[in-house]
Amino acid sequence: MEHVNRFIIQCGEAANRDELRVCLFSLSLSGSAFTWFISLPPNSLITWADLEKQLHKYFFSGVHEKKITDLVRLKQHNDESVEGFVQRLWGVKNKCYSMVFDDWQLANLAF
């Protein structure tokens, strides 16, 4: 929830207007959070409460979260390009919400 709190502080006066918070929030997202946001049905988030509820439901339910074991099990398929494998690896890494990896650690996992 650090991200949400930081976002609200950065919004300043705009944070006082519910509809502005909802509209501006997507600008603060990247990776799997942005992918989640753009996958939501149009007009499904009208209020800030809607956004927070959906965010918690997706990221904190544990259903979509990946673990380090998911990363370690990844292998490059025979017909998969290196670029394709790296993209798939990053996709799984971006779903490891409770873990932070730097590029070096992720590269070591890939090898």
The predicted structure's pLDDT at residue 42: 87
**Is it the case that residue 104 has pLDDT exceeding 70?**
yes
Its pTM stands at 0.53
The radius of gyration of the chain's CA atoms, rounded to the nearest angstrom, is 17
What one-character-per-residue DSSP string does 2-54 give? HHHHHHHHHHGGGGGSHHHHHHHHGGG--HHHHHHHHHSPTT---SHHHHHHH
pLDDT, tens digit, 9 for 90 and up, residues 15-58: 888 888 888 998 998 877 888 888 888 888 889 988 888 887 77
Domain ranges (residues) in the chain: 2-59, 68-110
The predicted structure's pLDDT at residue 17: 87
pLDDT, tens digit, 9 for 90 and up, residues 53-85: 888 777 766 556 777 788 878 888 999 998 888
CA distance 5 to 26: 14
Residue 12 DSSP symbol: G
In this structure, the number of other CB atoms found within 10 A of the CB of residue 107 comes to: 12
CA distance 15 to 22: 9
